[in-house]
Structures are given as structure tokens and as C-alpha cells.
Amino acid sequence: MAVAERSAVGRKLRWRYRQPSWPLLSQPRGLAVLIGVVVGGAVLLGVGAAAFTPVRGAELATFGALVACAGLCVEAMRRLGKPSGLTRDLLGAWWLPTVLMLPPLYSLLIPIPVYLLLQFRIRRAVVHRRVFNAASVGAAGFAASTLFHGAVAGDWSQAVALPLAATEVAMSSVQGALLALACCAVFTALNNLAVAAAMFLSGTGTPWRKMLCDREALIVDGVELCAGITAAIVTGLSPLLLAVVLPPVLLLQRSLLFQQLQTAARTDPKTGLLNASTWEAEAGAEIARSRRGGRSAAVLIVDIDHFKAVNDTYGHLFGDHVLLGVATTLTGQLRSSDVVGRFGGEEFVVLLPGADMAEACRVAERLRLRVNRMELKAEGAEVAITVSLGLAVLRVHGDDLVGLLAAADLALYRAKGAGRDRVCLPVVARPEIPAQLGVHGVPHGGAVPSASGAAAPESRDPD
């Protein structure tokens, strides 16, 4: 009887914590609603536009030429390789001519074959992400195309049926080109806002603001817009002339992807931080400079408490969200000169150039408190995340990176043994622990009290 009861309890627990068969169902509710609204809206727009868009041979030929160019770009990505995660490409060079030259219906259709190629020729991604991206591009393109065609026709009711010849004439004038530029900017803004909203609603702590304001991203968007306008003007002359535009777009895309691949080789794919080998190389060089210049430096090892239990309870997908959230919190509280990396598993490492004992302790305590305040939800419930930190200072606990990492690792074990969710120092013969941090009278190093609440000095405030 007891065995039967245990089996029933086991079945209930497995039902409670098992992952949904559809990955979309495991996403935060707000994100699932956004995906449903964008995809559903794109489908409804497509059905409505199809009823009023006449089929013309010239437009089908132009659409086929643009799809072929986009497909060649996808094949070029496949040969070079595409880094994982959020990446930049120049496929907009083919979205934009479709938006400007063809009826709005085609703006909804062109992402479908292109994203199918990305899914089956480049990398298999989660289906709902591919569908959302295609729907986002399509809906943004439809809005911008309707805006452009309505302005050209002078009658919004004719926007969905305006022939290719009318847009060709419009693109040949300066006024039409400026209007096209404005509509392309609308397309880029709408698409980026949809993706940024998805990143925000995912609850992962992803820096979505960087996507909208990052200088490099804005430059890429500008290059993509110029390439798209050029392709649209060439398309108006003859779709065959797209063969002239294709090589420079492929070259620009190759350069862009090569730079991203170089970055990906140095970073951890789940967090965007430096990977272990790159962090060791950069931290080792910084330590050597600090020794030659007689400056101080400190190393922190940050470990997420009970991370295995989080994975076992909420699944590895949520565990990845936790890793990304902690990584984003760490980088948001540090200066650009600090070196942050993922050391493996649930461990992170931070090098603080120029930090003495007092400063390093304050920074470590601030990081601990900030992580504690993270808001992460799983299955509708708030999940508390804490970290333990081990701290070591140059010349006090070690004279090189290897010695500092060993000392910080021992301090981390002390923090775990003392109950976790705290900052600890290694045991040293002559500890240099600031009195204002109050280490509860521990004679040979100890835990920095969580109640101290000491803020980092102004010199270490994030840039």
C-alpha cells in the first residue's frame, strides 16, 4: 500500500514538473500572447490582402528574383557559418525592395521561403521563434508597404492593388526616393520593436535596450537600409539588374558574419560573456600589467546557489534564463574596464583592475544584493536566486592569476559552507579586512555581512 502511495506521489510530481510538449507553452504568458498576436495578425492581413491583390506576371517575376537573391544570401551564410543567438544579417536588402516595389501582400509572403531556408539549411531553431520572426518581418513590411503604396496612389484603398509600373515611376523621382527612405525606416523600427518586446517579455534579463540603441546595430541598420533602397531602384529598372547588386551585398554580409563569428569564438553562447579561455587570457594580461605598474587588482568567483535544484525543478530552459539574468546583472553593475566571464556551469569570474581589499569587498557585496533582487518567474511563481562569492586580492592572497583563482575558489567553498548567499575571503595570516565592513570578529578572514549594504565607491560605478 505504501509503495502504491509513493508511486501516486511520484506521478503527481512528474506531472507537476515535467516540461510542456510544446516549447511555446513554457514561455512567459506575455511572450506567448505577443507571439500569438503578431502571428495571428500577419495571417489575417495575408488573407485579407490576398482577396484584393490581383496576380500579375511582372510582379511574380520580380518576387521570384528577390526570393532567389535572398536564398543565395542564406546559402552564403551556410558556407561561412552563422553564430548562435541573436545575430545581424543583411536580408533586409531583399525585404525592402519587396516592401517598396510590390503590393503589400508580397511583404507578408517573402519571409516564408527565406525563414524555411534558414531553418533547414542553416540551423534548426525553436519553431515558434522562427514563425514569430517571419511574422514580425511580414507584418512590419506590410505596414511600411501600405504606407508607401497609399502615398504614391494618393488613395489608401488602392494601396494593396497598385501595379509595379506605378512604384517604378515613383522611385525614379527624388520625392519618391525620400518617401521610400522614410517607409523603410518605419519598417526597420517596427521590426526591431517587435523583437525587442519579445526579448523584454521573455523575462531573461536580456539587454533589449541595447538592440534599439547600440551604435553598431544602428550602423548595420543604416547599411541595410541603403542596400535595400539601391536594390529597389535597380529592381525598378529591371529585375535582371539585381545580379549587379547581389555581389556587394554578399560581400558586406560576409564581412558582418565574419566579425560576429570572431566574437562568438571569444564568448559564451548562453550569456554573451567571455568564455573561460578568453577570460583567462585577458585577466592574465591585466594582472601582469598591474604587477608591473604596482597597482592592485582583485578576482571574484561568483557561484549560483542550488543551481542544479533550479534546473531539476523548472527545467534547463529556465536554468538558461537564470544564467543570462545573472550575467546581465553582473555586467550592469561593473565598469567597462572590469573583465567578466563565465567560468563553466553556474560559475562566473570577475577581475577588478585597481581594486584594493575594501573596494573589492564593496563591489562583491553589491553584486550579491543585485542578484538577490532579480525578478525571475517560472510557472507563474517568483523564483529567488542567490549567489555565493569568493574574493582574492593581488599580493594579499596571490601573486598571479593562478594563485588568485585558487584563493578565490577556497573562499567560495567557505561561503558555501557558511550557508551560501554571502561573500567570503580566503584565510590569510594577516587579513586586511576593512573595519567598516564588519566581519563579525572572525580573526582570519570571514564572510562579508549581507546586512552591511555598503555601496561601491564612486570610482567603481558602472560607466
Q: pLDDT tens, position by position, for the chain (463 residues)?
A: 443 443 443 443 333 334 444 566 666 778 888 999 999 999 999 999 999 999 999 999 999 999 999 999 888 877 665 555 556 778 888 999 999 999 999 999 999 999 999 888 887 878 888 899 999 999 999 999 999 999 998 887 788 888 888 898 888 888 888 999 999 999 989 988 888 888 778 755 555 555 556 667 777 788 888 888 889 988 888 889 899 988 888 888 887 777 766 666 777 878 888 888 889 999 999 999 999 999 999 999 999 999 999 888 888 888 888 998 899 899 888 988 899 999 888 999 999 999 999 999 999 999 999 999 888 877 777 888 999 999 999 999 989 999 999 999 999 999 999 999 999 998 764 444 444 443 333 333 344 443 333 333 333 444 4
Residue length of the chain: 463
pLDDT, residue 315, reads 84
Judging by beta carbons within 10 Å of its beta carbon (0-12, 13-18, 19+), is residue 451 exposed, middle or buried?
exposed
| pLDDT at residue 135 in the model | 94
**Residue in the block written with cell 495571417:** 43
Task: State residue 141's pLDDT score.
Answer: 94
Residue 11 has what pLDDT?
40
The predicted pLDDT at position 13 comes to 37
Per-residue pLDDT, 100: 93
What radius of gyration do the chain's Cα atoms show?
Answer: 27
